[in-house]
Amino acid sequence: MHFVHKIGKREDDKCMFCGEVDTAEHTFFDCPKWTTTRSDVISIVGIHLTPDNLVDVMLGSRDNWTAVSEAMREIITQKELCLRSID
């Protein structure tokens, strides 16, 4: 997480799962660690999520909103647990 690096919790800004620059966008849209989570969301919303279509997809229905927000919550929770385990 760029933020985690900025506040000194990580020595670098590399993703702990794949080595790419770790941003929120990378985590949700690109990191291979969360491929299954993204696939689950895609099966519900019916479209590949991108930064450009995320808001429109989420606003498309209550089910879409729930699927995306729950996936984001799960990813953040799991990532925070991993960060704590390496402290």
Q: In whole angstroms, what is the distance from residue 80 CA to residue 77 CA? A: 5
At residue 82, the pLDDT reads: 87
At residue 27, the pLDDT reads: 94
Q: In whole angstroms, what is the distance from residue 69 CA to residue 85 CA? A: 24
Domains of the chain: total: 1
Residue 48 structural domain: 2-86
The amino acid present at 17, given as its one-letter code, is: F
Mean pLDDT of 26-46: 97
* Window from 1-5, 50-54, 63-67, 80-84 with minimum mean pLDDT: 1-5
Q: How far is CA 35 from CA 19, 48, 62, 71, in A?
A: 16, 12, 23, 11
